[in-house]
Amino acid sequence: MHDQLIVIDGLQYSNWNRAIFKQLKDGGVTMVHATIVYHEQIRETLLRISEWNRLFEQNSDLIMPVKSAADIRTAKQLGKVGIMFGAQNCSPIEDDIGMIEVMRELNLMIMQLTYNNQSLLACGCYEAEDSGVTRFGKQAILEMNRVGMIIDMSHSGERSTLDAIEISQRPIVISHANPNSFHNAKRNKSDEVLKALGESGGLLGFSLYPFHLKNGPDCTLTEFCDMVAKTADLMGVERLGIGTDLCQNQPLSILEWMRNGRWSKQMDYGEGNKDNADWPRPLEWFKDSRDFPNLTKGLQARGFSDKEVAQIMGQNWLDFFEHSLQPS
Amino acid sequence: MHDQLIVIDGLQYSNWNRAIFKQLKDGGVTMVHATIVYHEQIRETLLRISEWNRLFEQNSDLIMPVKSAADIRTAKQLGKVGIMFGAQNCSPIEDDIGMIEVMRELNLMIMQLTYNNQSLLACGCYEAEDSGVTRFGKQAILEMNRVGMIIDMSHSGERSTLDAIEISQRPIVISHANPNSFHNAKRNKSDEVLKALGESGGLLGFSLYPFHLKNGPDCTLTEFCDMVAKTADLMGVERLGIGTDLCQNQPLSILEWMRNGRWSKQMDYGEGNKDNADWPRPLEWFKDSRDFPNLTKGLQARGFSDKEVAQIMGQNWLDFFEHSLQPS
């Protein structure tokens, strides 16, 4: 069945190269939302885009840029892996609302309003207090709505997320996180947030990052699929997708960059700690993109219908993109 | 008496030129804390500094840079006007804690953690909610303490200001604001904040910007000096100075830049409104820097002793700088 599916990964941040693109293709992935920046500002974001342009040029037999929902169907048809650009922070717009449209013109399709810390737009999930969406943030959300840039609140605080769902005139996403009811973590989400997200037509991508899972790297596929089933009861199966948060081939220095950016003089260990500072051990049943068929099998075994499996594995993401990427 | 005083203006943002430097000298001003940036980021801040370097070169008979408290005494001795650089926002450090020391090396001596809006460090007084000092903000305050850069909370929210007073290991300032008890405005400060500021050894500079005054441009010198006297009772006279917030020779476009930066697509009118969008009419008794002697006379008439007048007009600022500009 897996080969027939549109398979969409709602978030990866790998150290991209031809071998990784090959794994995505081997795993039957139609499209991946690729994080291009964490803390990079405008000039650095342009550098990342130029690096991607070179990757597209050198690997045009394997990958293609995704600028619309139609491009995803084209990728499936051509047997290529579609790449959609996203930012995990609002740093690519710096302090300038005009940069939202500029970045969208450069095919930045998804942007988080915050990455763990407080930003100019909202608050991250690692701050002690979350004051919600700011004055700039309110305008930025409406501008993102206007140009067709998707709002992602994966790393935001509870209140900011609820604010964004309410303020945004188009549905938003939490591209890579899990329910707190499954595993209580700063990065996971309350039932209140998930319900509001579902009711507003938004989408949740389930994370396979061990820090977001019950029992960490020892979480079983069965437990994972049970979580999916429970969340389907809460939000509706049509509101669910996958966002693996796979960070392949990345050195520890990149994890430190993600956690510390340029803001910290001390070492911040994020979801880890001093004695557990490195990348987590990967799941046995999801080591890299070649293991996507395991997810399909797991969901089938859990009793999801073929249609539901197709929805979760990518169709819901595709439907969401169908209505989210056009300027309004 | 005025000629004998060390006169310090705790904040001006004028469109600097030789005529304005001459007015400062004519008004007996020993030193002015000059805002060099509002929303400017690193590259633009360097541009502003280079413009100042040219002003210093071309007006070396009138002005000199202030890099220490000793420089202020030298300026008095030489009959020159000392210029101390300050930033009204944390934009000159962007997202990088390392830029605090870099900017301090470039003689940025004072920096606000926020300008009206939420920043990466704290919250501004125009946001609906103030979540206090952030993770980055806590580290930034300690770094500013370390390198001898003064923390200014003039445009910050209540909670962020109380947080900053508590977190900072060195006294901080509110360089240009007035008590809310005198005139209730978002930019003015509660007695709670002023008391905490005074008890921590901090300093308040009274603002002469009409939006911060009772009856706006019609506020009398007597009313102003009454406010000073009342605040002396609250905080102690040694905690008081002047911070005129004089914005001379600036076009409306600069007021719009201050209010809107690059974050707003709509026109934000700040302390004004649609029907009152322009610079406020100046006070009759404080039109420009030549009117500083009026303040001296007003304070004398209000019954302050010569020593107290000298303290308020500049000695308190000088004493504060004596202990604040050295790296710790």
| Token pair recorded at residue B14 | 């004028």
Closest CA to B269 of B148, B116, B67, B74: B116
Mutate to test the interface with B, among A103, A129, A268 (most CBs of B within 10 A): A129
Tens-of-pLDDT digits for all 328 residues of chain A? 888 999 999 999 999 999 999 999 999 999 999 999 999 999 999 999 999 999 999 999 999 999 999 999 999 999 999 999 999 999 999 999 999 999 999 999 999 999 999 999 999 999 999 999 999 999 999 999 999 999 999 999 999 999 999 999 999 999 999 999 999 999 999 999 999 999 999 999 999 999 999 999 999 999 999 999 999 999 999 999 999 999 999 999 999 999 999 999 999 999 899 999 999 999 999 999 999 999 999 999 999 999 999 999 999 999 999 999 999 9
* Residue A95 contacts B, CB cutoff 8 Å: yes
Partners of A119 on chain B (C-beta within 8 Å) are: 120
- CA of A268: which chain B residue's CA is closest? B135
* Residue A123 contacts B, CB cutoff 8 Å: yes
Partners of B96 on chain A (C-beta within 8 Å) are: 262-263
* Residue A97 contacts B, CB cutoff 8 Å: yes
In three-state secondary structure terms, A205 is strand
Cβ pairs bridging A and B (under 8 Å): 98
Mean pLDDT, range B102-106, rounded to an integer? 98
| Token pair recorded at residue B119 | 């920043």
* Residue A266 contacts B, CB cutoff 8 Å: yes
**Using the beta-carbon criterion (under 8 Å), do B118 and A134 form an inter-chain contact?**
yes
| Token pair recorded at residue B237 | 């006279």
Do residues B242 and B29 make contact, with C-beta atoms less than 8 angstroms apart?
no
Predicted confidence band of residue B297 (pLDDT cuts 50, 70, 90): very high
* Residue B160 contacts A, CB cutoff 8 Å: no
Closest CA to A106 of A40, A34, A39, A46: A46
| Domains observed in chain B | 2-324 (3.20.20.140)
* Residue B284 pLDDT exceeds 90: yes
- CA of B119: which chain A residue's CA is closest? A120
Partners of A133 on chain B (C-beta within 8 Å) are: none
B154-208 pLDDT, tens digit per residue, is 999 999 999 999 999 999 999 999 999 999 999 999 999 999 999 999 999 999 9
Predicted confidence band of residue B2 (pLDDT cuts 50, 70, 90): confident
pLDDT of amino acid B55: 98
**Using the beta-carbon criterion (under 8 Å), do A119 and B117 form an inter-chain contact?**
no
What distance in Å separates residue A276's CA from the closest CA in chain B? 21
Do residues B12 and B205 make contact, with C-beta atoms less than 8 angstroms apart?
no
pLDDT of amino acid B36: 97
Mutate to test the interface with A, among B129, B166, B266 (most CBs of A within 10 A): B129
Query: How many residues would you count in chain B?
Result: 328
* Residue B120 contacts A, CB cutoff 8 Å: yes
pLDDT of amino acid B5: 97
**Using the beta-carbon criterion (under 8 Å), do B263 and A126 form an inter-chain contact?**
no
* Residue A216 contacts B, CB cutoff 8 Å: no
The crossing angle, in degrees rounded to 10, of helices A69-78 and A316-324 is 140
Do residues A120 and A134 make contact, with C-beta atoms less than 8 angstroms apart?
yes
Partners of B263 on chain A (C-beta within 8 Å) are: 95-97, 120, 135-136, 139
Q: Where are the alpha helices (DSSP H) in chain B?
A: 18-26, 42-58, 69-78, 98-105, 135-147, 158-167, 191-199, 221-235, 252-260, 292-301, 306-310, 316-324
* Residue A264 contacts B, CB cutoff 8 Å: yes
- CA of A120: which chain B residue's CA is closest? B119
Q: What is the ipTM of this complex?
A: 0.91
**270-309 of A, contacting B, C-beta below 8 A:** none
B200-245 pLDDT, tens digit per residue, is 999 999 999 999 999 999 999 999 999 999 999 999 999 999 999 9
Strands A31-37 and B8-12: what pairing? Answer: unpaired
Partners of A123 on chain B (C-beta within 8 Å) are: 131
* Residue B58 pLDDT exceeds 90: yes
Mutate to test the interface with B, among A135, A142, A268 (most CBs of B within 10 A): A135
| Token pair recorded at residue B282 | 């100046």
pLDDT of amino acid A2: 85
Partners of A134 on chain B (C-beta within 8 Å) are: 117-118, 127
Element (H, E) at A232: helix A221-235
* Residue A92 contacts B, CB cutoff 8 Å: no
Query: Between B41, B97, B134, which is nearest A117 by CB?
Result: B134
Partners of B166 on chain A (C-beta within 8 Å) are: none
* Residue B1 pLDDT exceeds 90: no
Query: Between B98, B118, B143, which is nearest A131 by CB?
Result: B118
* Residue A128 contacts B, CB cutoff 8 Å: yes
* Residue B52 pLDDT exceeds 90: yes
A221-245 pLDDT, tens digit per residue, is 999 999 999 999 999 999 999 999 9
